[in-house]
Amino acid sequence: MNDINIKSAYHEIFKSYDNPSLEHHINKIIELDDYLPYSSTFFCITNTQNLTFEYVSKNMRSCLGLDKSLFEEHGMRYFWSRMHPDDLEKWLQALNSLMEFTLNEIPEGDREKMTYTWNYRFKNADDEYVNIIQNTSPLEFDTNNKPIIGLAHYTVLHPDINLQICASAKRLNAHNEYDTMYFNNFSQKLISDGISNRERDVIRLLVLNYSSKEIAEKLNISPNTVDTHRRNILKKLNISSTGELIGMMKLNQFLI
């Protein structure tokens, strides 16, 4: 797909109804960037209404070898032009599905508690396609409570890592833990389709070395229910122990 036609083909993703201002909030984030160390992650403030980047952190150069001014000047269309052409359609399907899910399934008052993750390949300054895992949290909504301005973190991984294009949506619960509300793999399935969203949350917390009791508290379920999920996960993935599960997931965290 020609990246110039992305907005028209998927107009529901980008259609907005007003022009909110986050000048103060953005200025404070820019101040914070001066104190952050260089790393394999950079962040941007994205505006899907105007197809612009309100801000791009200095780490973009260390991550991709590209000058952030290119993206601040030319916006999202330039960003799209550097995405791998084989990933564009799947990425758009993922983005469209996340937006439809949010508008149809998430109450308006809960949308500020959401965070979204997806991935794709991106051409760096050496004309090499690297993997990017993007996590975006909404900062501002239009008059229809549709998220249009977000804080996006981009983690850059080695091109030899074979990532399938996945998308997930999580909501912060009353215990300040994320509940998986949506997950889909838009490429070849790497783990069983039978893994539920709740089981994904259990897996994610097991990888962080939480006990069944601690997981139960975070997800507001009983320890017995956590243990039942653990047994079902092992059975569905045809593995014999939690240690084997954790080892496998640490190599495939993008799936969780």
Tell me: the pLDDT tens digits for 100-112? Answer: 899 899 998 899 8
Q: What is the SS3 assignment for 198?
A: helix
Q: Say which residue, 96 or 191, is predicted with more confidence.
A: 96
Looking at the fold, whether 132 and 199 belong to one and the same domain comes out as no
Supply the pLDDT for residue 42: 92
Burial group, residue 124, by CB count within 10 angstroms (0-12, 13-18, 19+) = middle
Rounded CA separation 74/2 (Å): 17
Looking at the fold, whether 157 and 81 belong to one and the same domain comes out as yes
> Which helix (DSSP H) or strand (DSSP E) does residue 111 occupy?
none
56 DSSP assignment = E
Supply the pLDDT for residue 8: 63
86 confidence band (pLDDT: 50, 70, 90): very high
If one counts the domains in the chain, the total is 2
Supply the pLDDT for residue 233: 86
Looking at the fold, whether 110 and 230 belong to one and the same domain comes out as no
Rounded CA separation 60/38 (Å): 9
Looking at the fold, whether 152 and 197 belong to one and the same domain comes out as no
Residue-wise pLDDT for 115-141, tens only, equals 999 999 999 999 999 999 999 999 888
State the average pLDDT over residues 74-101.
Answer: 92
Looking at the fold, whether 142 and 173 belong to one and the same domain comes out as yes
- CATH for 234: 1.10.10.10
Asked whether the predicted pLDDT for residue 219 surpasses 80, the reply is yes
Looking at the fold, whether 182 and 198 belong to one and the same domain comes out as no
**Last-in-domain residue among 154, 187, 220:** 187
Supply the pLDDT for residue 18: 62
State the average pLDDT over residues 47-56.
Answer: 90
Looking at the fold, whether 127 and 18 belong to one and the same domain comes out as yes
Looking at the fold, whether 208 and 92 belong to one and the same domain comes out as no
Which residues constitute the domain of residue 222? 189-256
Looking at the fold, whether 174 and 80 belong to one and the same domain comes out as yes
Are 91 and 165 spatial neighbours (Cβ–Cβ below 8 Å)? yes
- CATH for 7: 3.30.450.20
Looking at the fold, whether 161 and 247 belong to one and the same domain comes out as no
Q: 150-154: long-range contacts at Cβ-Cβ below 8 A with a sequence spacing of 24 or more?
A: 150/45, 150/46, 150/48, 151/29, 151/43, 151/44, 151/45, 151/46, 152/43, 152/44, 152/45, 152/46, 153/41, 153/42, 153/43, 154/41, 154/42, 154/43, 154/44, 154/63
State the average pLDDT over residues 193-220.
Answer: 88
Supply the pLDDT for residue 142: 85
Q: Which of 19-23, 67-71, 248-252 has the lowest mean pLDDT?
A: 19-23
